[in-house]
Structure 1
Amino acid sequence: MSLPRATTTADHATAAVASKMGDDRFRQAMAASNIGMAIVSIEGIWLEINPALCAMLGYREDELRGHHYSEVTHPDDLAISNNLVTALVNGSLASVDEHKRYVHRDGSEVWVQLNVAVMRDESGAPQYFISHMRDIRGEREAGIALSARIEERGAALDASNRQLQLFADAVAHDLRAPLRSIESFSALLSERAIERLNETDRDYLGRIRAAASRMTSLLAALTELSHVTRAEMRVAPVDLSLLADWVGAELQDADPRHRGEISVQPGLQVEGDERLLKLMLNQLMHNAWKFSCEREGQVEPVRIEVSGETVAGRLLLTIRDHGAGFDMRYAHKLFEPFQRLHGPDQGGGHGLGLAIARRVVERHRGELRAHSQPGAGSTFIVELPVAKTGEENTDA
């Protein structure tokens, strides 16, 4: 890289993130993660990079820090990256989950699954980005090889199922581009012409933006459900306490309007796939946060308690909230895709979050159940193996 190291507010941004979790725990999370992680300024400058990201791209940390992300972005994906950054900053996108390419130091393409969220201050002004990058080159190559084997063996049923999945992925991917256009142009229209619109027209415009946002969220959730169903498991020791602290910090950063009190019991250890387990915690804790915030008459801080105990080689992880709760008569619907126990005005979403969480738990040979009472909050219990159980059951 030839550009000089940029002078940015890296220390301020890093301190802002670290203060949410404690400097040591935040840096431990970044350093220990096998997923590429970075803190990026609003201007696109790398502020903090973890070892996994350096290894993924073939650069030392000092060769990336202070430089613009465009320097290692594949030229064909640069316009997409710039558009996504703009949408995140102006609020038309809440987060990004995309497959895109970077350029390795040796010139080769690096395909990653990129997850980016923008962190905002209490006034809603964007402060910095948190990026997660997972190398998916092996999955792409494995997918191509698997398709070839299926065709050679004449497994018609397996081949048709895979084609259906590829079709669904392609449809979801292709729908994102027009949705981004709808969101971007409706946002521009709102900014430039809102004063010239009457109340009815403003309502129509608001409905368009809300519908596009819901569709974007639904496609992202469908992609996540597809990923957790077929992604290769990378089993290793996982500190669930650290992951829960991490998720809690992200929840509070993403919603500064609400105060949160998130207590996490230290020392919760399991064997599993770190990224999938973090996704599970994110779904369960986001569910707890959301229905606590939407509880009628809620004035106290959002309270979430994460604890656990080991029984007969299994960790019983408990996530408890003090939110709206639900009627246990409908508990059988709770983890089914597209089933909602609350309407949109009560915080209900696309109905996939808990289905995603259950699938992650199932792939870890565990169980997920819930107990609740309307108006008294909910408790989700995740049962996971503490000891390594060997290779994943491919039929799971």
Structure 2
Amino acid sequence: MVEHPAPEHLWQVTVEHPPIGMCLVSTDGVMLNVNRALCQMLGYAEHELRGRTFHEITHPEDLDADLALVRAALAGECGTFRLTKRYLHADGSVVWGDLSVALMRDDDGAPLHFVSQVFDVTEQRLDRLRLLEAVAAVERHRRKAQAILDTVDVGLVLVDSEGNYEEMNRRHHDFLALAFPHGHGGLAGQLGAVYAEDGFRVLGRDEMPSVRAVRGEEFDDYRIWVGADPLTCRALSVSARPVRDADGTVAGAALAYKDVTDLMRALQARDDFVASVSHELRSPLTAVLGHVEMLLDDPTLDASPRRALEVVERNAVRLRRLVGDLLETAEGRATATALTRAPTELTAIVAEVVETTGPLAAEAGVDLHASLPDSVMAVVDAERVRQVVVNLLSNAVKYTDRGGQVHVSLCRDGESVELEVRDSGIGVDAEDLAQLFTPFFRARAAVERVVPGLGLGLSIVRSIVSAHGGEVLVTSAPGQGSRFRVRLPLERQPAAD
């Protein structure tokens, strides 16, 4: 027959060896017995804790709450209670304990002693405090970031991969109120009073900046108008960048909406002014040139006045060209460049422009020469292409010092034709290259050397080439000249019209 330990011994083992602190406490708060776990938790030997009151090991700030529960138990209001409180470790540090207490009574109901269990929750409590501090720090940073974003005069919005609006600043709320006066549902692609750069055509869903951004597009200066009222509508320049997860997956996009209303209206006013002035100048210029040509046709005209009239004619022709450039630039901003395509002999056009530019180059002391094939046919607008060659050649001569060289070449490259104009001129700074085709922009070197011009020739070149479905490439460096390459498709490109 197996002998079992006495129940008293089993109870002693059960109380002494569990990982939870346990003790018997008299009704007046004296600790009668304590187990090993409680001694280790508080840093005392067993004999040091016996005879002490729980008041001595309880943090002063938590003692009142503990005593209130003890009094309630002794008064019969509760038989057990539980609280989380701080204990004082022997080394002076604080230990957090989860205390569970039961009041034991005799058969007559008189209180005998308290049985207490204490679970050490110091680490959990510290983790919780650290978490709360971290959450508070994050919230502080969030409020600071929001305050900063709300002071920025740019609308900012963050969308997720599904197009849901996650965050936006106050400025963007203002723009949404203009575009969606009846409310916005916080989802990319909603249609409202959002218009294209011309201010008239309503944008379709696929053209909305938010939809383009959600598709993963990255863009800058995408111009739109918002608001149906002409008095309060605003022009916005939109930029977008993808937001990626740690593994590189696109998780959404960030968009910035900058108010460029004043700029757009100033550009429109400038274009209207330029167009009006250009139209007004054309008629008197035509009259001047007509009468000069009539006088030059007179065989009895003496040499001296003839030379004077030829000077007048050259400058009037140059002025007419400048007026034409101004008018074309103003009209080109409002409408796409119109083309009249037909099979065209490009070699003949380039050779003709080289021949007519020859006297200008000779007068400037610039060596102009060309390498042209016998024939290159392409379906293009002949007059527009001639304008491209004229602008590139006149620029090359104008920006090349006396003694320099300008070389023109034309060749077929697969299904395209390439025109190259290379000079040994003053060149362009790297910082200016990006703006070289912007209307009215003039490179720093040209301004410093007081080279005449309006900064329109290259912008016209780009618009004509783009309308043909081609491209213009340029490489340049200060003091090392410039190289312009125009690539045009040989056949008609319907998508480019």
Which bin holds the TM-score, normalised by the shorter protein? 0.3 to 0.5
Structure (1/2) with the larger helix percentage: 1
Which of the pair has more CA radius of gyration? Answer: 2
- TM-score normalised by the chain length of structure 2: 0.36
Give me the TM-score of the superposition, normalised by structure 1: 0.44
